[in-house]
Amino acid sequence: MQFKNLNTRLPAIAVVAWLCCALAQGDAPQIDRINDPSGGYDALQDVLQYASVRESFDLRPEQHAALQRLNSENKVATQHATATWRALPSADRTADRLQRELRTVRSMVLPGIEQALDASQFQRLQQLQLQLRIRRSLFSPLYANDVTSELQLTSDGLRKWKETIDNQQRSYREKISELHANVPELLMRELTAEQRRKYQETFGNRYADPSTLPKIDDDRVPGRGFPPMLNLARYPGIRHELEIVDEQREQISMLLSDYRRRERSLTLQWRARDVRRNRPPSNDDKGKQEELRRKEAEEVLRKKELQALQKNTRSTLDEMLLPPQIERLQQLVLQARAQSQSNFWILTDVAAKVIEISPEQQLKLRQVFETESVKIGVQSTRLYEETLERILATLTGEQRVRYSLLVGVPFKLDSGN
């Protein structure tokens, strides 16, 4: 099988000759056993989403059809698993359980992918999977036992290998952060002085690690979860930020329990009303319209009752906290809402609303961001390649060849599907 559009970067002519000979003899290592925290199956599917990969495989029409069918079936199965998980009681609805369910769904796709592809295509797909994992996980897969075993590292060599990866990971992250550091300031320049002042006043100082802020679900299903401010006040990092004392912590815990109890009571009342008002469906238009109005009125009533409970809970929470704590918690709620949309909050609907960014300004902000993103993308790709080369430079010539066999010919993945 011939692969098109490959970007070859092997270290030396002798290595290329040795590699071609080994591949011809079928000596390329198998990488399907390599540890992957996500189960490995989603990465295979991810690689197949790239148009350049599919084109390089020169897929036959029946292979295209088989892979499209697998992709559709996987989407349906994933949606079903997610919906089933959401229907679980809150105590059972954990992130670990969702990951297990999704991993099971993905595992069912692997045999279909292997069957759809030729042996050489599937082997190449596994190599590209490892390349993608190394890139996405910032070299962490290079720690995997199967990788280090294939490289035949001595105990001392393994220690130096891991130290090198740790040091290069740290350096890479720092340099990537530097690339992104100027973007917020460039975006802020597109705002008026009054908008910048209002932005700082509304959002406050950036939370230490915004990616860890809990997701604020404004479309929350009644009976599941807490109001935004009370929800954030549950988390240790937020409490530390607010300098919550022990007495306040106990009061918040009691308020959480009380809210959960009262919201559950509301849910039971709603169900009881549904039972009392339950009647056989009407076949005539007038009866259908009355039933629709009844349901709409019930939804309005439920919303009012829930809002009254939330307002009462908010008043109680305000009494527990000091004014500076309330102000900071309000800022963190906005930060959490914005973070769920983008790392650059100024680009979000949340910021546009609170500081009144005009449509023309939003367009200009997006243009500035896209221009900088292209620049950062080019720089980060070059930085990644340089960092990987420094890691591989610690290997001997033979180990470098073994690595090349493991990942195959380097391949540049496009961003399109």
Mean pLDDT lowest among 1-15, 54-68, 250-264, 397-411: 1-15
Residue 256: predicted pLDDT: 92
In this predicted structure, the answer to whether residue 16 has a pLDDT above a threshold of 70 is no
Residue 179: predicted pLDDT: 87
Q: Binning pLDDT at 50, 70 and 90, where does residue 320 land?
A: very high
Section 403-408 average pLDDT? 90
pTM of the complete model: 0.62
In the DSSP assignment, the letter for residue 143 is G
| 3-state DSSP of 334-351 | HHHHHHCCCCCHHHCHHH
Residue 279: predicted pLDDT: 61
* Cα–Cα dist 77/114, whole Å: 19
Section 250-270 average pLDDT? 90
Residue pair 372/343 in contact (Cβ under 8 Å)? The answer is no
Percent of the chain with pLDDT over 90: 36
- Average pLDDT, rounded, for the chain: 81
Residue 266: predicted pLDDT: 86
Residue 282: predicted pLDDT: 62
Q: Binning pLDDT at 50, 70 and 90, where does residue 32 land?
A: very low
Residue 299: predicted pLDDT: 83
What digits encode the pLDDT tens for the residues 343-365? 888 999 889 998 999 999 999 99
Structure-model confidence comparison of residues 408 and 278, the more confident one:
408
In the DSSP assignment, the letter for residue 152 is T
* Cα–Cα dist 320/244, whole Å: 10
What digits encode the pLDDT tens for the residues 145-169? 888 888 988 889 889 999 999 999 9
Residue 35: predicted pLDDT: 35
- CA quadruple 109, 111, 117, 121: dihedral sign: positive
Residue 145: name the closest of 153, 156, 137 by CA: 153
Section 306-324 average pLDDT? 92
Residue 12: predicted pLDDT: 36
Residue pair 411/128 in contact (Cβ under 8 Å)? The answer is yes
Q: Binning pLDDT at 50, 70 and 90, where does residue 88 land?
A: confident
In this predicted structure, the answer to whether residue 239 has a pLDDT above a threshold of 90 is yes
What digits encode the pLDDT tens for the residues 125-149? 888 888 888 888 888 888 888 888 8
What digits encode the pLDDT tens for the residues 160-195? 999 999 999 999 999 988 888 889 899 999 999 999
Q: Establish how many alpha carbons lie within 13 A of residue 347's alpha carbon, considering only the half-sphere containing its beta carbon.
A: 19
In the DSSP assignment, the letter for residue 29 is P
- CA quadruple 210, 211, 213, 217: dihedral sign: positive
In this predicted structure, the answer to whether residue 25 has a pLDDT above a threshold of 70 is no
Element of type H or E holding 372: helix 359-392
In this predicted structure, the answer to whether residue 42 has a pLDDT above a threshold of 70 is no
In the DSSP assignment, the letter for residue 42 is H
Section 321-350 average pLDDT? 91
In this predicted structure, the answer to whether residue 33 has a pLDDT above a threshold of 50 is no
Copy the structure tokens of residue 15. 């290595």
Residue 164: predicted pLDDT: 93
Residue 364: predicted pLDDT: 94
Section 108-116 average pLDDT? 88
Mean pLDDT lowest among 3-12, 35-44, 71-80, 397-406: 3-12
Residue 71: predicted pLDDT: 85
Residue 142: predicted pLDDT: 87
